[in-house]
Chains A and B, each alone.
Chain A
Amino acid sequence: MKERLIRLEVFRYNPDTDTEGHYQHYEVSCLEEWVVLDALNKVKETLDPTLNFRWSCHMAVCGSCGMMINGEPRLACHTFLRNYPGTIRVEPLVHFPVERDLVTAPDDFMEKLKRVKPWIIRKDKQPIEQGEYRQTPKELLRFRQYAMCINCTLCYAACPEYGLTRHFIGPAALALAHRYNQDSRDQGRDERQEVVATKEGVWECTFVGACSEVCPVHVDPASALQQMKIASSFDWIKEHLLPGGGK
C-alpha cells in the first residue's frame, strides 16, 4: 500500500495558557487510503499527545469529528487523504466557541434541538397493547431522509445566516422539526410552528444551500426548510385569505 508523508497545519488553542490560537505543523507518514482522522490519531500517538480532538465511530455515523478541513466543514473520519495532495489545514468548526484545539462547544445547537420539540406529539396516544401505528412505506419515505441527521453540526458551520445571527434555529434543528411534521404518526406541527415559522426559524434562511452541500449523510436540510416555508405560507393564505380561515 502506498505511503505518503502528510503535512498537517493544525489549529491549537489552550485556554489555560493561550490568549489566542496558533497553527502547529506536523509531518506524519500515512497510508494513501487513510482519512484525515487517521493522520490526526497518528500525530497524537507518535508525535504530540497534547493535541485534542473528538472522535469515536470512524464510520461517519456518530458525528463527533466535525472540523474545518482546508476551510470546509467536514467529518475527519470521512475525508480521504487521497483527495488532498498538499498541506492539509485542520481547524475547529467555525461558528462555535472553541473549547480547546479542535474541540468546539455545541451548547447552542443542543439547546436549539430541544426547542423544535423533536419527539412524537399526539393528542390521542394509542396503548402499546394495540400494536404499532400503521405507516406505509410511502409514508415512511416522506420523512426518513430527514431522520438521517447525525447532529455533526457541519451545516451550522457552513450556514452564512447562522454565522451572522446566532438566534437562527439553523439547518439541522429545523430539518428535524420537518422530520416530525412529516411523520404520519405525529400531530405536533402546530406546536412546532411557534418556533419554526418565525424570524428565528425558517424565515431567517436565505436559501444559500450550503447546509445541504456539506451534509455528510445527504439529509438535505435546505429542501426541508424550503418545504416548511411553502407550508407556512400556505398556512398564512388559509388563515387570511380563505373564508373561515380555511377551516
Chain B
Amino acid sequence: METIQTDVAIIGAGGAGLRAAIALAETDPKLRIALISKVYPMRSHTCAAEGGAAGVIKPDDSFDIHFDDTVGGGDWLSDQDCVEYFVHEAPKELLQLEHWGCPWNREPDGSVAVRPFGGMKKKRTWFAADKSGFHILHTLFQTSLQFDSIKRYDEYFALDLLVDAGRCQGLTAMDMRSGQLRQFHARAVIIAGGGAGRMFPFTTNGAIKTGDGMAMAYRAGAPLKDMEFVQYHPTGLPNTGSLLTEACRGEGGILVNKHGRRYLQDYGMGPETPVGQPQLKTMELGPRDRVSQAYWHELQKGNTVTTPWGECVLLDMRHLGTKKINERLPLVRELAESYLGVDIVKDPVPIRPVVHYMMGGISTNTQAATPLPGLFAAGECACVSLNGANRLGSNSLVELLVFGRRAALSAIEHIEKTPAANTAALEACADQTQQRIRALFSRTAGTESVAGLRKEMMTTMEEHAGIYRTEAGLQAAVARIHELRERYRRVVLTDRTNVYNTDLFQTLELGSMLDCAEAVTVGALARKESRGAHQRLDFPERDDKNFLRHTMVYHQGADAPRIDYLDVVITRSQPGIRDYSGGHQ
C-alpha cells in the first residue's frame, strides 16, 4: 500500500474542510496539507444550503442577542463558552468571505444586506440570494486554488483512522478511480465529513451525506455527542424532499392548514402577525423544531391537505409578488416549478417537514478538538455544542467557517508538540483496513443486499426516530438497528470491479449510516425528556434536573454502545422559557 506523508490530513472538502485547508496554508505556508474527499470539492453538500449565514454586523444588533437567540433556540443544550466564541468570530469569518469574493447581497449603499431568519431576534443573516451555501462553497474552493500547499485528493474514499500511542496519526483511503488503497501518515487529522441525513428516507440531504466521518471517528474510539437531536426543516417539497429555504418565511411567506388558518398561532408562536409583515422570532419566524412539531399536531388533528405526495400544509408566498420572489427566492421558485409543477407566484406550495441536519456529531470542544489527541472535527459532522438541541437556521454555514478555521489552528498547535511517528505501527494499523476491504470483496456466502438493508434502516428511522418519539418505538428501533448491523456483516458485493465501484461505496456508506443510526437511537431511548428536536410523547417536559447534559455514545464493536453523559457548560444564561410569542407571553 502506498504511503503519503503529510502534515495535516483533512477528510471532507466542503465548507469546513476548505476553510480549514485555507487557514492552514495561510498560517504556515510550509505545511503539507492533504485535502481528501469522496467527491470533487464543489459537489460537497454545502452547495445546497440556501438561506444564509448569521453574523452580527448591523448597529442595532449585538453579540449578546445572537448569543441569547442561539442558546434559547438550542433549548439550553448549547455549551455557552462555545456560543460566546462563535458569535464573536462569526462576523470576522463572513467578512473574510466577503474579501475572498463571496457575492453577498447588498444594501443600496454597498454594505452587506441581512435578512430575517427563524428564531433570531434581529436581522443578521447574510445572504447571496437563495444560494448562499453554493456561493460560500465555490468562493472557498476557488480561493483555495491559489495555495499550492493544499494537495487535493479528489474522489478518495476515506476508510479508517490510523491510531497509535493514543494519538490519531493518519488514515487509510481508497482512490476511487483505481480502487487502490493508500495510507496517509499525518501529524494531525481534521474530519469535516458532513452529516448523516441519508439514514432517513425523506431528507434534504444529498446522496453523499452518509455520516462516514462521524462513523470513522466513532469506530476509532472518539465519542459521538447528542446524536438523538435530528433537525426536521419545516418546509421541504413533499415529493423530492428538496429544501425550500427558511428565507421563504423570512421574506414574508406564511404557513396555512387546509382551512386556511395560520396554525402556528395555536402552538405558542402566536398571536398572528399581519400577512406580508413578518415579525422576528414569532409565527413563521419561530424556530425549526417548534414549526415542524406544529405540523405533526396538525396532522393528528386532520388539518393537513391530502396531496398525491402525502399529507402537507401550505406555504403561501403569493403576496410577496413576482419581483421580490425573483430577486430573493429564484431557486425556490425554480425548484417548486420544475419538481412539483407549482408556480409560487400564483399558488401556495404544499410542503412537509423533512430531515435536514444533525445537531449531534463527533464530540469536540471549543477548540474543535475531539477527545482523541490529534483528531479534530468541524462542520456538521462535529458536535461542538453550538446548536444544542435545535440549531437556528443560518448558524451552520458560519459554524463551518468558524470551527473549520479553529480546527486548523488547533491542529497546528498540536503538531508543534507531537513526537515522531512509529511508522511500523501505523502500517500495521493500515493493514487492518486492507483486510477489511479484502474480506468484503471475497465474501460470497452472504445473503443481504445493500439496497434492502438500507431501506429497512430508513423505514426504521422514519417510523421511530422522527419528530415525536416513544419508549416502545425507540426500543424497537434500537433492536432493529442492532439486527441490521449484524446482518450488514453478511452483505455481498454484486460488483467486484476495482474502478469506480459504487456498489462498494454504497456498501461502505451503509456501514457508516448504521453506526450513526445506532448512536441516534440509543441516545434517544436514554433521553427520557423532551428538549428541542428530541420530543418524547411519554416524557413531554424538559427535565433539567436529569438531562441538562450531553449524551456521549462510545462504540463497542459488535456489542451495544456505551452511553455516558457530559455536563453542559453554562456561563451566563440559566435554562428558561423559550418565548416565541413576539413579546406577548
- Chain A contacts for B265, CB-based, 8 A: none
A180 CB contact (under 8 Å) in B48, B101, B243: B101
The answer to whether A59 touches B240 (Cβ under 8 A) is yes
In the complex, what residues of B have CB within 8 A of residue A147's CB?
103, 135, 138
> Which residues, 89 to 137 on B, are CB-close (under 8 Å) to A?
92, 95-96, 98-101, 103-112, 131, 134-135
Sorting the interface of chain B by its residue count into under 10, 10 to 19, 20 to 34 or 35 or more gives 35 or more
List A22-60 residues whose CB lies under 8 Å from chain B.
Answer: 33, 44-46, 49-50, 52-59
The answer on a CB contact under 8 Å between A49 and B495 is yes
B501 x A113 contact (CB < 8 A): no
The reply to whether the CB of B444 lies closer than 8 angstroms to some CB of chain A is no
Question: Of A55, A118, A134, which is within 8 A of B142 by CB?
Answer: A118
Roughly how many angstroms separate A1 CA and B107 CA in the complex, as a whole number?
45
- Whether, in the assembled complex, A161 has its beta carbon less than 8 Å from a beta carbon of chain B, the answer is no
Choose among B43, B48, B103, B146 the residue that contacts A119 (Cβ–Cβ < 8 A): B146
- A1 cross-chain contacts in B, Cβ below 8 A: 308
- Does B405 lie at the interface of the complex (its beta carbon under 8 Å from any beta carbon of A)? no
One of A55, A61, A149 near B48 (C-beta < 8 A) = A61
Bound complex: CA of A85 vs CA of B501, how far in Å? Answer: 31
Give 1 or 0 for each of A4-29: 1 = CB within 8 Å of chain B CB.
00000000001111000000000000
Q: Does A143 contact B (CB under 8 A)?
A: yes
User: Closest A-chain residue to B133, C-beta based?
Assistant: A61
A110 pairs with B154, CB closer than 8 A: yes
A106 close to chain B: CB less than 8 A:
yes
Q: Mask for A95-112, Cβ within 8 A of B = 1, else 0?
A: 000011101011000100
| Residue pair B240, A58 in contact (C-beta under 8 Å) | yes
CB neighbours of A114 from chain B (8 A): 145
Assess whether A125 is interfacial by the CB under 8 Å rule. yes
Bound complex: CA A55 to CA B206 (Å): 8
- B498 contacts A by Cβ under 8 Å: yes
B565 within 8 A of A: no
**In the complex with contacts A56-B207, A132-B112, A14-B499 CB distance below 8 A:** yes
CB atoms of A148 and B131 under 8 A apart: yes
Q: How large is the interface on A (under 10, 10 to 19, 20 to 34, 35 or more residues)?
A: 35 or more
Q: Which of B143-186 contact A (CB under 8 A)?
A: 143, 145-146, 154, 177
Q: Collect the chain A residues with CB atoms within 8 Å of residue B154's CB.
A: 110
Specify which chain B residues have a CB less than 8 angstroms from the CB of A241 in the assembled complex: none
Pick from B44, B339, B498, B501 the residue with the most CB of A within 10 Å: B339
Chain A residues with CB below 8 A from B207, complex form: 55-58
* Interface flag for B450 (CB, 8 Å): yes
CB-based contact A143/B499 at 8 Å? no
Across the interface, B42 reaches (CB within 8 A) one of A63, A103, A133, A135, namely: A63
Residue A91, interface by CB 8 Å: no
- Is A212 positioned at the interface, with any CB of B under 8 Å from its CB? no
Task: Give the interface centre of B98, B341, B502 by most chain A CB atoms within 10 Å.
Answer: B502
| A185 CB within 8 Å of chain B | yes
Residues 426-441 of chain B: 1 if any A CB is under 8 Å from the residue's CB, otherwise 0? 0000000000000000
Confirm or deny: B415 has a beta carbon within 8 angstroms of a beta carbon on chain A: no
Neighbouring B residues of A151 by C-beta, 8 Å: 40, 42, 138
Q: Given that A14-B497, A57-B48 are contacting pairs, would A52 and B502 also be in contact in the complex, using a CB cutoff of 8 Å?
A: yes
Option from B206, B338, B498 in Cβ contact (under 8 Å) with A16? B498
A81 to B503 Cα, complex, angstroms: 25
- Which of B43, B145, B308, B506 has the most A CB atoms < 10 Å from its CB? B43
Given A14-B497, A56-B43, A128-B92, A143:B145 Cβ within 8 A: no
Contact in complex: B143, A61 (CB < 8 Å): no
CB-nearest residue of chain B to A186: B101
Chain A residue nearest to B240 (CB atoms) is A58
Contact of B98 among A61, A100, A132 (CB under 8 A): A132
Chain B residues in 8 Å Cβ range of A100? 497, 499-500
| Chain A contacts for B506, CB-based, 8 A | 49
B450 contacts A135, CB within 8 Å? no
Contact B500 A103 (CB under 8 A): yes
Chain B residue at minimal CB-CB distance from A122:
B99
Report if B479 contacts A (CB, 8 A). no
Residue in chain A with minimal CB distance to B341: A33
- Interchain CB contact (< 8 A) of B106 among A78, A103, A137: A137
Residues on B with beta carbons closer than 8 Å to the beta carbon of A44: 451, 502
A229 at the interface (CB under 8 A from B): no
B502 engages A119 (CB within 8 Å): no
Write the chain B residue with the least CB distance to A99.
Answer: B500
A141 to B43, CA, bound (A): 25
Residue numbers in A under 8 Å from B500 (CB-CB): 52, 99-101, 103
Within 8 A of B (CB), among A142-166: 143-144, 147-151
Within the assembled complex, what's the spacing in Å between the Cα atoms of A125 and B99? 9
Given contacts A17-B497, A63-B43, contact A118 B145 (CB under 8 A): yes
Q: Does chain B have a CB within 8 A of A183? A: yes
Q: Which residues of A contact B92 (CB under 8 A)?
A: 128
Known: A45-B451, A52-B501, A101-B500. 7 other contacts (CB 8 A): A49-B451, A56-B39, A105-B177, A128-B96, A134-B111, A185-B99, A186-B101
Could you jot down 21 A-B contacts, CB within 8 Å?
Answer: A33-B339, A45-B451, A49-B506, A56-B45, A59-B243, A59-B339, A78-B338, A80-B338, A103-B500, A106-B40, A114-B145, A118-B145, A119-B101, A128-B96, A133-B99, A134-B110, A134-B111, A135-B110, A136-B109, A137-B105, A140-B106
The 9 A-B residue pairs with the shortest CB-CB distance in the complex, in nearest-first order: A134-B110, A56-B206, A50-B495, A49-B494, A118-B142, A45-B451, A57-B206, A120-B101, A100-B500
